[in-house]
A = this chain, B = another copy of it.
Amino acid sequence: MRNLHDHKSALGINTATFGYRSPIEATIDLCASRGVGALTPWASELKGGNIAAVARRIQAANMAVPALCRSEYLTAGNAESREKAVAANCRMLDMAAELGAQSLVMVVGGLAENSRNLEQSRAHALKGLEQLLPHARDVGVNLALEPLHPMTTADRSCLNTISQAVDWCELLDPDGAGGIGIAVDVYHVWWDPALEASIAGAGGRGRILGFHVSDWLQDTRDLVLDRGMMGDGVIDVRGIRGMVEDGGFAGCVDVEIFSAERWWKTSESETLDMCLERLLSMC
């Protein structure tokens, strides 16, 4: 397991952690000023802007771009909407390529509207990924499937465990040609009784493309926007990092904290300083 003090280029920040308050250029400059090694932006921050210029600004600050966040949902109830989502995700892959991002984070969508057929929504998500994979390979951007916590199954993601994500990768890329893998976010997977085994399975197939950190607060009040700073909750973040690194992962440790009431109300520089401190002391 790496000592992050000796791998500061592995210290990454997902811009969601700041609550989308400043233009991406200001966020880049702030992160660059603290020696952050990697930045993961959101597409909403880039739309309508000069993506090539943003890419140059990040590169000039010696920061990597592990991923672009994130896909459009693939699970709409009607075929036309699903085709539109695939097209939108192709454009998102192009944007990721222009940005120099290694992956596009795939949040696949929850149950279709007015549906109780979870198996069907999962089949639709899988089909959409199958349609996207050739384009992802063409533009050199990986599809990073992110299993989301089971409390998001209805409305955000019907992909909910690492084991399920591994199964999907094997279905879509049985020969291990690549272009598809998994983003492991401790917040979404820490509870899983099969965590260690499924991370080992993913690692054994070279499938781990990203690693996101935050914390589960004991007194969680919101299903989306109440994540904690690493160390403020109950997740053994370092233990899980050990698992993914034992599985061969050598990429960035990206802080991604959705925190409407706490960190999004703290100044961005203070939040960033705390992220860097806790990355080194708690992750």
| Chain A residues near B (Cβ < 8 Å) | 111, 115-118, 122, 149-151, 153-155, 158, 160-161, 163-164, 167, 190-194, 216-221, 223, 233-236, 239
Contacts and interface: CB of A to CB of B under 8 A. Distances in A.
9 contacts: A115-B234, A116-B236, A150-B150, A150-B151, A151-B151, A151-B220, A155-B218, A158-B191, A223-B223
B223 A193 contact: no
Contact of A154 (B150, B167, B220): B220
Nearest to A215: B116
B154 A216 contact: yes
Contacts of A163: 193-194
6 nearest A-B residue pairs (beta carbon): A153-B191, A150-B191, A116-B236, A164-B193, A151-B151, A154-B234
Contacts of A118: 190-191, 236
Copies held by the complex:
2
Nearest to A188: B150
Given A223-B223, A235-B116, A236-B116, A150 B192 contact: yes
A122 B161 contact: no
A101 to B, nearest CB: 28
A191 B115 CA distance: 14
Contacts of A239: 116
Contacts of A167: 193
A221 B225 CA distance: 12
A242 to B, nearest CB: 13
A111 B161 CA distance: 20
A151 B154 contact: no
A152 to B, nearest CB: 9
A250 to B, nearest CB: 24
B160 A191 contact: yes
